[in-house]
Amino acid sequence: MIPKLEWGALVEAAESLGHGSDLPRELETGYEKNEDFLKKVHHVLLEVEVIEGALKCPESGTEFPITRGIPNMLINEEES
């Protein structure tokens, strides 16, 4: 799963949520055997949850609200 991640985007997202210090800026070789690293990645991917907030598209700048942990990814008619 880790090789398929866009690592820079994951680190940037983790930093925006206050978990940036948990992950290295660059994906290190041999991470498969690094138990501490794997635990940190597991935490960021599966245990960090956004309850209230917004997702922002880096291409269009569109913001999608998150309410009670559920993102609303629908765009308005004027945005399409």
Residue 79 is predicted with a pLDDT of 63
Please report, in tens digits, the pLDDT of each residue of the chain (80 residues total): 899 999 999 999 999 999 988 899 999 899 999 999 999 999 999 999 999 999 988 888 899 999 999 999 998 766 66
Q: Identify the CA nearest to 54 among candidates 44, 65, 43, 69.
A: 65
Report whether 52 contacts 17 (CB < 8 A). Answer: no
Domain residue spans of the chain: 1-48, 50-80
Residue 28 is predicted with a pLDDT of 86
Residue 59 is predicted with a pLDDT of 86
pTM: 0.76
**Which helix H or strand E contains 4, and what residues bound it?**
none
